[in-house]
Amino acid sequence: MSEKELWSGRFRRQLDPGAAAFSSSPEDSVLFRYDVAGSIAHAMGLARAGILTRDECNAIVDTLRAIYSRWRGKEAEFLKGKEDVHMAVESELTRLQPGCGAKLHTGRSRNDQVALDLKLYSRDALLSVVRSASSLAAALAAAARGNLRLVMPGYTHLQHAQPLYLSQNLLSHHWRIMRDIERMKFIYSSLNISPLGAGAIGGSSLPLQPAYTAKLLSFSAPFDNSLDASSDRDFVLDMVYGSCMMALHLSSMAEEIVLWSTSEFNFVSLPETLTTGSSLMPHKKNPDMAELIRGRTGRSAGSLTALMLTMKGIPSGYSRDLQETKLPLFSSVDNITGMLGVMERMVKGARFNRAAMLAAASDPLTYSVEAVDELVRSGVPFREAHREMGEAVAESLEKGESLGQTIRRRRPGISYPSSPYESVEMRSTRGSSSADSISAQLEESSRRRSETAAWIRAASGRAASVGRLLGE
């Protein structure tokens, strides 16, 4: 049986070669593993339903495992000239087992087959992304712990705002990544529903076993609605959006690294293994990896835009447009995985310039909020206190004296921080920049990362179901 005959019984003429090339999807090679595993689960389900004999099922399963073993790592070669991975696997099976191989697709459509493969891929991809993101979060927490009392200026509008500890800045990025991890975990739970058995759109008149195949593949449940199950790509949108959000957070980190590594800031030095030189200027040490992370965020945003535009007008049921949801997904996953790995290495390799940070954080004007708070504690309404401190700032600049001198002259009884460390430690509310608050953040970080480690172990167990079906 030729590949064409798998679907073209009602046709009398072959597909135009140009149209065949246009409609093929060689990018499907990453789904090879999942297509074989899903086909094995489907064969077992057919046997349980009495549609395949036990011998037929065993022959199909053994042959599919042999196909996987032979072509694993050579997927591109296996798919050469084929329409897609799904047809390629079935064609090879039917060639090797012409009797029972032709029975495999009983009760199954490429619609629920593709949805299944994408979900199995997405589960593994999410697990990989969460692992990488958790490693980055751990690196940020470790860097914060190692630089607990290294003071630096905090910024708003890229202007000096209030002194902070570097650890507070690092943990701000850490908590963003932890939110990204929670988002990915939620996406995982929402996609972990098996579509196998939904058929093209309306299910089947055969006694299929969706609950059984869902269990074989470690899904939490089978689908509720066949029409929705075969065409659902919400999980693809969710994954690409989640990856895009994570990329935006990494881009923000990368931008700070680029700024801090300039001579003007001189806050951080990156290892030579993560920087490059100039082809003309021998002295240059460029933060190329940070710049590339910043730049490649555009790829993630582009994948999300392409995906949303693809899906915006598709009616209920499968349409071939959905083929175009694969590349944005694969590209987005590859992109964010690479970005996470490089950022983790930069965080681990960064060396911070304590003297430069302290000098930049020692502008007494940036302690003004603490002076306002002191006035408030003495009974002055906040808006009056804010206005008075604003006038004191203007006066100190006009007279060329420190803000502390001006305040002591205007308000002799009001204390004013004498150093950035004193300013930072005066802030003791939850999540603030004092050392005690940061220690509490680090403790909570450790607890959350332990929860994520447990989640990773559970998800790894579910992922192992694919390997078991493949005989690995």
Q: Residue 310: which of 296, 291, 329 has the closest Cα?
A: 329
Q: Which residue has the higher pLDDT, 13 or 441?
A: 441
Of the residues 71, 106, 141, the one at which a domain ends: 106
Range of the domain at 15: 4-106
Domain end point (choices 106, 122, 147) = 106
Cα–Cα nearest to 166, from 426, 334, 355: 355
Cα distance between residue 414 and residue 450, in whole Å: 45
CA 11 to chain centroid: 44
Which band of pLDDT confidence, cut at 50, 70 and 90, is reported for residue 304?
Answer: very high
Q: Are residues 65 and 174 in the same domain?
A: no
- Within a domain: residue 323? yes
Confidence of residue 313 (pLDDT cuts 50, 70, 90): confident
On whether both 87 and 126 belong to a single domain, the answer is: no
Residue 117 has pLDDT above 90, yes or no: yes
What is the share, in percent, of the chain residues with pLDDT greater than 70? 95
Question: What is the arithmetic mean of pLDDT over 367-396?
Answer: 91
Give a yes or no: residue 213 inside a domain: no
Residue 210 lies in a domain: no
- Do residues 162 and 307 both lie within one domain? yes
Average pLDDT over residues 4-15: 64
Residue among 436, 240, 238 at smallest CA distance from 336: 240
CATH code (residue 377): 1.10.40
Asked whether 377 and 328 are in contact (CB, 8 A), the reply is no
Give the residue-averaged pLDDT of 49-77: 95
Instruction: Tell me the per-residue pLDDT of 316-365, one tens digit each, with 9 for 90 and over.
Output: 888 888 889 999 999 999 999 999 999 999 999 999 999 999 999 999 89
**Judgement on whether residues 144 and 227 belong to the same structural domain of the protein:** yes
Query: Do residues 31 and 179 both lie within one domain?
Result: no
- 245 shares its domain with 97: no
Query: Looking at the predicted structure, is the pLDDT value of residue 415 above 90?
Result: no
169 and 313 in a single domain? The answer is yes
436: amino acid identity, one letter: D
Task: Answer for the pair 128, 67: CB distance below 8 angstroms, yes or no.
Answer: no
pLDDT of residue 105: 94
65 and 126 assigned to the same domain: no
pLDDT of residue 20: 67
Asked, for residue 425, whether it belongs to a domain, the answer is no
Q: Which of 87, 106, 125 is the C-terminal boundary of a domain?
A: 106
Would you state the pLDDT for residue 3?
Answer: 47
Specify if 258 maps to a domain.
Answer: yes
Average pLDDT value for residue range 163-189: 98
Residues marked as catalytic: 157, 278
* Lowest-confidence segment of 71-75, 173-177, 339-343 by average pLDDT: 71-75
User: Which CATH number belongs to the domain containing residue 153 in this structure?
Assistant: 1.20.200.10
Nearest C-alpha neighbor of 118 from the set 199, 35, 229, 201: 35
Q: Does 429 reside within a domain?
A: no
- The fraction of the chain above a pLDDT of 90, given in percent, is 79
Average pLDDT, the chain: 93
In this structure, the answer to whether residues 188 and 92 fall within a common structural domain is no
The reported pTM is: 0.92
Q: How confident is the model at residue 404 (pLDDT cuts 50, 70, 90)?
A: confident
Residue 166 placed within a domain? yes
Lowest average pLDDT, out of 102-116, 178-192, 200-214, 392-406, goes to 392-406
Residue 396 domain-assigned (yes or no): yes
Per-residue pLDDT, 2:
42
> Residues 278-298: pLDDT tens digits?
889 989 999 999 999 999 999
Contact 333, 239 (CB under 8 A): yes
368 Cα distance to chain centroid: 39
At 269, give phi and psi (nearest 5°).
-125, 130
How far apart are alpha carbons 230 and 110 in whole angstroms?
9
Both tokens assigned to 323: 């083929």
Say yes or no: 267 and 332 in one domain.
yes
pLDDT digit string, tens, across residues 136-155: 999 999 999 999 999 999 99
Measuring CA to CA, how many Å separate 71 from each of 60, 66, 227? 16, 9, 33
- Give the mean pLDDT of 410-416: 85
CA distance 398 to 148: 36
Give me the number of domains the chain comprises: 3
Same domain? For 350 and 379 the reply is no
CATH code, domain with 77: 1.10.275.10
In this structure, the answer to whether residues 153 and 283 fall within a common structural domain is: yes
